[in-house]
C-alpha cells in the first residue's frame, strides 16, 4: 500500500471518489488538452488579439515577416518560412482555399482538426508545385463540390486550424515569398461563388476565466461540445462523463460532490506537469545521440490511439505538427554528456558531410528557449540551415555550427548560432525529407561542449 501512496494515490486517506476523479481527470486532460489549447489560441487571435495575429474567422491572415523572438505564442515556430494562419468555422458552410503555383519553392497549406491532428494538405507541396483550389467541408456536409474545385478535404470537427508556409531565407528573397503568400486565400463557399466579400465574424467560444473553479475542465467541456470527438472514442467519453467531463456529462462541474472536485483539481495541477515532462523527452519515440525524433504518427496520433502523444509533444510544444511525408523533426535538450543545454557553456555541432540531413526542400536547425519561443540575440539569427546564405563548409564537406552566448572569433561568426543566457533546445527540421530521415535511420551528431 505504501508503494501506491508514494505514486500519488492516497487510497488509505482520500475518499475513493477523489482518487477515481483524479485518475479519470488525468486521462481526460491528456485527451482534451489540444481542445483547451486551441480554444485559448483561437480566442487570442480572433476575439482578443494579444500578438501579431488579428483575424476574423474564415480569413487567411498573412504574417509578412519571418518569426522571431517577438512571437511569444510558444509552439516552436519555424524560421525558414513566412506563415499565414486561419481559424475555420465549417459548421455553417464550407470554405474554399487557394494557393498559387510555386515552382521549386516549398509552399504548403496544412489543416488540423480541433484536437491538433491533421486531416489533409492543399497547395503546391502536395501538387508538384502547381496551384490548387480546395473545398474544406465540415463533418455534416453532404453537398457536391462546384466546378473549379480541385480537391475536397473533410474536416472531422466543425472548427479547424489552417497553417500555410512559404519558404524563404529572408533578405532579398522575402519580397518574392510575400507575393506568393498574398496569392493564397481563404473564403466561405458562398462568398467565393458570389464574388462578394463575406461579413467579418469574430464570435468564438471564450475560455473560462482563471477565477472559475476547475477552469480548464470547463473550457474543455465547452470545446468538446462544440467539436464532438469521433464515435470511436465514445467509450472514453462515457468514462469521462462519470466525473462530469466531456460532451456526455450529465452532471455540471458545480454539482459534483466535493471529493470528485478535489480529484479533478489535483488532475489540473498534475496534468500540465505531465505534459511538460513528456515534451522534454519527446514522448515514446526513438532517441539517438541525445536527439529524439518526432513521432512517426505525428498529425495522425488519434488514429494510433496515442492521446498523450497528441497532447504532448504534438500540441503542447508544437501547436500543430506535419505528417512525416512533409516534414520530420528531431529535438535535443542535452549535450553529448547528457547535461542540459545552457548559454553558460559553449558548444559545437559538427556535421560530417554524410551527416548533413537529406531534404528535397530544405533542412534547418532552430534554437528555442524553455518556453519554445525563439531567443533574442544581438545578430537576430535564430536558426541555421540549407537556406542560410554564406555558411562556411570544411574542405571535406563538413559543417560546424558554433553555439554560444558571447560572440565568437570573427572567423566563426558566419556559422554562429547565438544562445540565450539560460537553458535552450534545438529543433532539426527537414522538409520533404529523404528516406533515411523519414524511416528514422538517420543519426544527427551530438552537441559537444567546448
Tens of pLDDT, residue by residue over 100-158, are: 999 999 999 999 999 999 999 999 999 999 999 999 999 999 999 999 999 999 999 99
CB-CB contact of 440 with 296 (8 Å): yes
Q: If we measure between CA atoms, which residue out of 344, 358, 352, 313 comes closest to residue 331?
A: 313
Question: Which of 235-239, 257-261, 362-366, 370-374 is predicted with the least confidence, judged by mean pLDDT?
Answer: 370-374
Question: Which of 152-156, 300-304, 408-412 is predicted with the least confidence, judged by mean pLDDT?
Answer: 408-412
Q: CA-CA-CA-CA torsion for 404, 406, 412, 413, nearest 10 degrees?
A: 110
Given a cut of 60, is residue 420 above it in pLDDT? yes
Return the percent helix, strand and coil in the chain, to nearest 5: 30, 25, 45
φ, ψ for residue 196, nearest 5 deg = -100, 155
In the chain, % of residues over pLDDT 70: 97
Q: If we measure between CA atoms, which residue out of 424, 342, 417 comes closest to residue 380?
A: 417
280 DSSP assignment: H
Based on the number of CB atoms within 10 Å of its own CB, is 379 exposed (0-12), middle (13-18) or buried (19 or more)? Answer: exposed
pLDDT at 3 (0 to 100): 42
Q: How far apart are CA 253 and CA 261, in angstroms?
A: 8
Q: What cell numbers appear for 146 in the block?
A: 462546384
List pLDDT tens digits, range 172-229: 999 999 999 999 999 999 999 999 999 999 999 999 999 999 999 999 999 999 999 9
- Band (pLDDT 50/70/90 cuts) for residue 2 is very low
Mean pLDDT of 46-75: 91
pLDDT at 282 (0 to 100): 82
Look over the chain and give the mean of its residue pLDDT values, rounded to a whole number.
94
Domains of the chain plus CATH, in order, are: 12-39+206-277 (no CATH), 57-192 (2.60.40.1610), 287-449 (2.60.120.600)
Mean pLDDT of 164-168: 96
The three-class DSSP label of residue 129 is coil
- Band (pLDDT 50/70/90 cuts) for residue 72 is confident
- Band (pLDDT 50/70/90 cuts) for residue 375 is very high
Based on the number of CB atoms within 10 Å of its own CB, is 179 exposed (0-12), middle (13-18) or buried (19 or more)? Answer: exposed
Q: How far apart are CA 328 and CA 432, in angstroms?
A: 8
pLDDT at 335 (0 to 100): 97
Longest dimension (CA), the chain: 71
pLDDT at 164 (0 to 100): 97
Q: How far apart are CA 267 and CA 246, in angstroms?
A: 15
Given a cut of 90, is residue 421 above it in pLDDT? yes
Q: How far apart are CA 214 and CA 220, in angstroms?
A: 10
Q: How far apart are CA 113 and CA 223, in angstroms?
A: 12
- Band (pLDDT 50/70/90 cuts) for residue 11 is low
Q: Does the CA dihedral 70-342-316-445 come out positive or negative?
A: positive
Helix (H) or strand (E) holding 107: strand 107-113
CB-CB contact of 204 with 55 (8 Å): no
Given a cut of 90, is residue 237 above it in pLDDT? yes
pLDDT at 280 (0 to 100): 83
pLDDT at 18 (0 to 100): 97
pLDDT at 8 (0 to 100): 56
Q: How far apart are CA 105 and CA 223, in angstroms?
A: 37
pLDDT at 440 (0 to 100): 96
63 DSSP assignment: -
Amino acid at each position: 500500500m505504501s508503494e501506491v501512496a508514494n505514486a500519488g494515490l492516497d487510497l488509505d486517506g482520500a475518499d475513493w471518489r477523489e482518487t477515481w476523479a483524479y485518475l479519470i481527470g488525468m486521462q481526460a486532460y491528456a485527451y482534451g488538452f489540444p481542445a483547451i489549447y486551441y480554444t485559448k489560441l483561437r480566442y487570442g487571435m480572433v476575439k482578443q488579439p494579444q500578438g501579431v495575429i488579428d483575424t476574423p474567422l474564415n480569413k487567411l491572415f498573412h504574417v509578412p515577416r519571418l518569426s522571431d523572438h517577438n512571437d511569444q505564442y510558444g509552439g516552436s515556430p519555424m524560421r525558414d518560412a513566412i506563415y499565414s494562419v486561419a481559424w475555420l468555422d465549417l459548421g455553417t458552410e464550407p470554405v474554399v482555399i487557394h494557393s498559387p503555383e510555386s515552382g521549386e519553392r516549398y509552399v504548403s497549406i496544412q489543416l488540423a482538426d480541433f484536437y491538433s491532428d491533421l486531416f489533409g494538405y492543399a497547395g503546391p507541396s502536395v501538387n508538384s508545385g502547381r496551384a490548387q483550389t480546395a473545398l474544406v467541408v465540415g463533418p455534416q456536409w453532404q453537398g457536391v463540390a462546384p466546378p473549379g474545385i480541385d480537391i475536397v478535404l473533410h474536416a472531422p470537427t466543425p472548427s479547424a486550424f489552417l497553417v500555410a508556409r512559404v519558404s524563404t531565407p529572408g533578405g532579398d528573397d522575402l519580397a518574392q515569398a510575400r507575393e506568393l503568400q498574398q496569392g493564397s486565400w481563404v473564403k466561405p463557399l458562398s462568398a467565393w461563388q458570389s464574388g462578394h466579400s463575406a461579413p467579418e465574424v469574430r464570435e468564438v467560444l471564450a475560455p473560462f476565466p482563471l477565477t472559475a473553479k476547475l477552469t480548464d475542465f470547463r473550457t474543455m467541456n465547452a470545446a468538446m461540445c462544440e467539436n464532438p470527438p469521433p464515435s470511436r472514442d465514445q467509450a472514453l467519453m462515457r468514462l469521462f462523463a462519470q466525473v462530469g467531463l466531456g460532451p456526455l456529462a450529465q452532471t455540471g462541474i458545480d454539482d459534483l460532490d466535493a471529493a470528485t472536485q478535489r480529484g479533478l483539481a489535483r488532475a489540473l495541477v498534475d496534468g500540465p506537469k505531465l505534459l511538460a515532462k513528456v515534451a522534454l523527452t519527446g514522448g515514446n519515440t526513438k532517441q539517438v545521440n541525445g536527439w529524439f525524433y518526432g513521432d512517426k504518427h505525428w498529425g495522425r496520433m488519434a488514429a494510433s490511439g496515442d492521446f498523450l502523444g497528441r497532447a504532448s509533444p504534438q500540441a503542447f510544444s508544437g501547436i500543430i505538427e506535419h505528417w512525416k511525408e512533409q516534414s520530420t523533426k528531431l529535438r535535443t535538450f542535452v549535450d553529448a554528456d547528457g547535461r542540459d543545454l545552457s548559454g553558460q557553456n559553449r558548444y559545437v555541432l559538427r556535421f560530417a558531410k554524410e551527416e548533413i540531413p537529406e531534404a528535397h526542400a530544405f533542412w534547418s536547425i532552430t534554437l528555442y528557449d524553455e518556453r519554445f519561443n525563439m531567443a533574442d540575440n544581438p545578430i537576430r539569427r535564430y536558426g541555421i540551415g540549407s537556406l542560410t546564405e554564406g555558411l562556411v563548409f570544411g574542405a571535406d564537406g563538413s559543417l560546424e555550427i558554433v553555439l554560444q552566448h558571447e560572440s565568437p572569433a570573427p572567423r566563426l561568426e558566419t556559422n554562429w548560432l547565438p544562445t540565450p543566457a539560460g537553458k535552450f533546445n534545438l529543433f532539426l527540421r527537414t522538409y520533404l525529407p529523404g528516406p533515411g530521415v523519414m524511416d528514422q535511420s538517420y543519426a544527427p551528431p551530438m552537441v559537444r561542449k567546448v
